[in-house]
């Protein structure tokens, strides 16, 4: 009788967090998150885990447990439920934040709210929800108990002794579980490289107060839409400085609505205003909280920065505050947005020049304290890029856990726990799935390579018809997109046309099949273009028989 653990996402990457536990041939799923695309995935909207392992075992999946409402933990839930319709458990605000995407896709779901301290009995599993502190309310860790022992998943956490909502991590319960015996700790490793303890969220309040005190005109603050604690800090400070607050950005409006409805966000009456009311208030009496902290091209802040927002226009003396760090891969987008804001003559507080953000993930000392609290027999670092996992594993060894009892895993690796032993049993083959428009697919690597190729080298499209009986060639037409400046393209175009005619005449003379003709034309164009221009554009050849044309 073995307990098995594997991750379908979240190891060696930031995002796409999804863990699976198997015991007595029954499965528990923890979280179902998304990862956002980067320059390696052009045209992709979202990246989600590969669910095929769970789909093959869908009748055995007992439940999906959600630790908190961030997109990297709940964003893929509707796509999972389309294929694996299991019951879902999470705190009320976590379910409220997840419900937006569920409704967008018209998914029916069976959701049950829980509170920290609750215990669920699910088949051979007993699951206790543990209060932890993060940057969103209702965040929990999990104690997953089986007859083989207890596995603790920290969830996203830090040891904040002065949290905004007063809900501190339940140190006593973690310590009690330790006394009962912890088989394995799965620990958030995002900030394992950073020394010390993660600062308290309250530290940001003093920074906001100083900004609000010195800003001469309007203030615009951008943060993660789901960072409810940060939003509360901004609104509280705005009220203290007698400023009205505008919430701008669809995702932000939705989060504020859910958090306020459930009592997690306290907004003084009369503080919020609508976009159409902006002109009624002096600029020095308004704060705008907006999306776009990651430089997303279509976000509200990006449109403000480029002067394309229909209702919000920057003026000299306005102050823009980035209250979030860039997710790895978004640095260029954020820098472009900052540049555009400076072009609009705004004062921008960002990155190394700002203390208006603290992380919701614990630093190295937080991780060591979690290990010391739980005293697990085995340790598995999760939630982080590979270097974060390695750093976290080294912290565990510093805390006295033997190297042989620490597992640094890749997505798909299976760890098997049996009485007195744990080992990597093997791995399942998984690949990321891509949400691309209305489709969800694994988007064969060739498709992504072609997209990257087109973006880097451009595309050449050839259209021509042949008549074998008359040995006649109609065309060819050659079009360039994203390839060369028009003047240079026109200079080479006629030469390429003559080469295509020569190759096709040879093909007709040898009576080659149509596909063989296409390949010879493509190879000839590739060779000539590289020889003359040292470029390798994507070449599309559309070659038809004349009778098809007629």
What is the number of domains present in the chain? 3
Q: Which two tokens stand for residue 22?
A: 């198997």
Specify the DSSP element, H or E, that contains 511: none
Specify the DSSP element, H or E, that contains 479: strand 472-481
CA separation for the pair 269, 248 (Å, rounded)? 18
Write out the chain's pLDDT in tens, 550 residues.
Answer: 799 999 999 999 989 999 999 999 999 999 999 987 655 554 556 788 999 999 999 999 999 999 999 999 999 999 999 999 999 999 999 999 999 889 888 888 999 999 999 999 999 999 999 999 999 999 999 999 999 999 999 999 999 999 988 999 999 999 999 999 999 999 999 999 999 999 999 899 999 999 999 999 999 999 998 899 999 999 999 999 999 999 998 889 999 999 999 999 999 999 999 999 898 999 999 999 999 998 888 889 999 999 999 899 999 999 999 999 888 778 888 999 999 999 999 999 998 778 899 999 999 999 999 999 999 999 999 999 999 999 999 999 999 999 999 999 999 999 999 998 999 999 998 877 766 544 455 544 445 455 555 555 677 888 888 877 777 777 788 877 766 666 666 777 778 888 888 888 888 878 888 788 888 888 888 888 787 777 777 788 887 776 544 4
Residue 451 lies in a domain: no
CATH at 488:
3.10.20.580
Is 424 in a helix, a strand, or coil?
A: strand
Residue 448 lies in a domain: no
Beta strands in 105-232 (DSSP E): 111-113, 119-122, 125-131, 140-146, 149-153, 184-188, 219-222
pLDDT at 42: 47
Residue 43 lies in a domain: yes
**What's the predicted TM-score (pTM) here?**
0.80
Task: Tell me, yes or no, whether 364 and 480 share the same domain.
Answer: no
CA separation for the pair 71, 18 (Å, rounded)? 12
| Cis upstream peptide for 476 (omega within 30°) | yes
Q: How far is CA 95 from CA 41, 98, 165, 390, in A?
A: 29, 5, 19, 32
Task: Tell me, yes or no, whether 14 and 36 share the same domain.
Answer: yes
Query: Where is the domain boundary, 323, 353, 383?
Result: 353
Task: Tell me, yes or no, whether 39 and 160 share the same domain.
Answer: yes
Strands 319-322, 347-349: pairing is parallel
Q: Which two tokens stand for residue 195?
A: 């020394």
CA separation for the pair 478, 494 (Å, rounded)? 9
Q: Which domain holds residue 395?
A: 3-196+359-441
CATH at 155:
3.60.15.10
Per the CB < 8 A criterion, the answer to whether 17 and 426 are in contact is no
Q: How far is CA 239 from CA 67, 229, 232, 233, 272, in A?
A: 32, 15, 11, 10, 10
Residue 67 lies in a domain: yes
Residue 151 lies in a domain: yes
Task: Tell me, yes or no, whether 190 and 76 share the same domain.
Answer: yes
pLDDT at 457: 63
Query: Where is the domain boundary, 386, 406, 441?
Result: 441
Q: How far is CA 130 from CA 140, 155, 163, 171, 517, in A?
A: 5, 9, 16, 10, 66
Question: What crossing angle do the helices spanning 202-214 and 228-240 adopt, rounded to 10°?
Answer: 40
Task: Tell me, yes or no, whether 129 and 249 share the same domain.
Answer: no
Task: Tell me, yes or no, whether 230 and 281 share the same domain.
Answer: yes
CB-side neighbour CA atoms (13 Å) of 215: 30
Residue 66 lies in a domain: yes
Residue 446 lies in a domain: no
pLDDT at 439: 45
Which of these, 385, 304, 321, 319, lies nearest to 357 by C-alpha position? Answer: 321
Cα-to-chain-centroid distance, residue 456: 24
CA separation for the pair 368, 374 (Å, rounded)? 10
Per the CB < 8 A criterion, the answer to whether 475 and 501 are in contact is no
CA separation for the pair 219, 243 (Å, rounded)? 9
Task: Tell me, yes or no, whether 372 and 321 share the same domain.
Answer: no
CA separation for the pair 144, 54 (Å, rounded)? 19
Q: Which two tokens stand for residue 409?
A: 């895993």
CA separation for the pair 209, 211 (Å, rounded)? 5
Query: Where is the domain boundary, 441, 475, 496?
Result: 441
Which of these, 372, 328, 391, 336, lies nearest to 72 by C-alpha position? Answer: 328
CA separation for the pair 458, 436 (Å, rounded)? 21
CA separation for the pair 352, 299 (Å, rounded)? 23
Residue 449 lies in a domain: no
CA separation for the pair 22, 427 (Å, rounded)? 14
> In the block, which residue shows the tokens 């051979």?
124
Task: Tell me, yes or no, whether 347 and 387 share the same domain.
Answer: no
What are the catalytic residues?
188, 361
Cα-to-chain-centroid distance, residue 27: 25
**CA dihedral sign of residues 512, 515, 517, 523:** negative
DSSP state of 157: -
Is 238 in a helix, a strand, or coil?
A: helix
CA separation for the pair 150, 177 (Å, rounded)? 8
Task: Tell me, yes or no, whether 216 and 187 share the same domain.
Answer: no
Task: Tell me, yes or no, whether 188 and 276 share the same domain.
Answer: no
Task: Tell me, yes or no, whether 191 and 66 share the same domain.
Answer: yes
- Furthest-apart CA atoms within the chain: distance in Å: 90
pLDDT at 550: 40
SS3 sequence, 329-398?
CCHHHHHHHHHHHHHCCCEEECHHHCCCCCCCCCCHHHHHHHHHHHCCCEEEEECECHHHHHHHHHHHHH
CA separation for the pair 220, 292 (Å, rounded)? 11
Cα-to-chain-centroid distance, residue 407: 25
Task: Tell me, yes or no, whether 433 and 492 share the same domain.
Answer: no
Per the CB < 8 A criterion, the answer to whether 278 and 112 are in contact is no
CATH at 345:
3.40.50.10710
CB-side neighbour CA atoms (13 Å) of 378: 24
């Amino acid at each position: 009788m073995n307990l098995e653990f594997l991750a379908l996402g979240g190891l060696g990457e930031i995002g796409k967090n999804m863990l699976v536990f198997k015991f007595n041939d029954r499965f528990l799923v923890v979280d179902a998150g998304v990862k956002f695309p980067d320059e390696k995935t052009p045209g992709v909207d979202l990246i989600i885990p590969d669910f095929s392992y769970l789909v093959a075992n869908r009748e055995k999946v007992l439940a999906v447990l959600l630790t908190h409402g961030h997109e990297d933990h709940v964003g893929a839930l509707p796509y999972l439920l389309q294929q694996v319709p299991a019951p879902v458990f999470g705190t009320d605000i976590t379910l409220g934040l997840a419900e937006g995407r569920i409704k967008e896709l018209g998914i029916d779901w069976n959701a049950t709210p829980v509170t920290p301290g609750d215990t669920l009995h699910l088949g051979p599993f007993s699951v206790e929800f543990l209060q932890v502190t993060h940057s969103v309310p209702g965040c929990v860790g999990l104690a997953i108990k089986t007859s083989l022992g207890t596995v603790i998943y920290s969830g996203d956490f830090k040891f904040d002794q002065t949290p905004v909502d007063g809900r501190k991590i339940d140190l006593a319960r973690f310590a009690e579980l330790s006394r009962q015996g912890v088989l394995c700790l799965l620990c958030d490793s995002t900030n394992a490289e950073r020394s010390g303890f993660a600062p308290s969220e309250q530290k940001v309040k003093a920074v906001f107060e100083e900004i609000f005190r010195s800003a001469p005109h309007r203030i615009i603050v951008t943060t993660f839409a789901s960072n409810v604690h940060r939003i509360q800090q901004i609104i509280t400070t705005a009220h203290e400085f007698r400023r009205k607050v505008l919430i701008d950005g669809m995702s932000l409006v939705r989060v504020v609505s859910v958090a306020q409805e459930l009592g997690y966000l306290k907004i003084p009456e009369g503080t919020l205003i609508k976009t159409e009311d902006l002109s009624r208030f002096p600029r020095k009496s308004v704060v705008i909280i907006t999306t776009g902290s990651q430089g997303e091209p279509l976000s509200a802040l990006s449109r403000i920065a480029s002067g394309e927002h229909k209702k919000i226009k920057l003026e000299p003396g306005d102050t823009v505050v980035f209250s979030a760090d860039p997710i790895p891969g978004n640095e260029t987008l954020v820098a472009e947005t900052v540049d555009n804001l400076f072009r609009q003559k705004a004062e921008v507080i960002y990155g190394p020049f700002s203390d208006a953000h603290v992380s919701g993930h614990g630093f190295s000392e937080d991780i060591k304290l979690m290990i010391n609290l739980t005293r697990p027999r085995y340790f598995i670092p999760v939630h982080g890029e590979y270097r974060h996992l390695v750093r976290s594993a080294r912290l565990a060894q510093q805390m006295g856990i033997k190297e042989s009892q620490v597992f640094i895993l890749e997505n798909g690796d299976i760890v098997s726990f049996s009485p007195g032993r744990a080992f990597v049993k093997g791995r399942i083959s998984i690949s990321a799935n891509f949400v691309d428009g209305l489709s969800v697919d694994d988007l064969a690597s060739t498709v992504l390579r072609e997209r990257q190729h087109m973006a880097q080298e451009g595309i050449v499209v050839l259209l021509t018809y042949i008549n074998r009986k008359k040995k006649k060639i109609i065309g060819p037409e050659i079009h360039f997109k994203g390839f060369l400046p028009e003047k240079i393209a026109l200079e080479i175009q006629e030469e390429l046309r003559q080469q295509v005619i020569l190759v096709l005449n040879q093909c007709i003379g040898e009576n080659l099949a149509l596909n063989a003709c296409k390949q010879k034309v493509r190879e000839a164009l590739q060779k000539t273009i590289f020889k003359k221009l040292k470029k390798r554009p994507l070449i599309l050849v559309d070659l038809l028989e004349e009778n098809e044309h007629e």
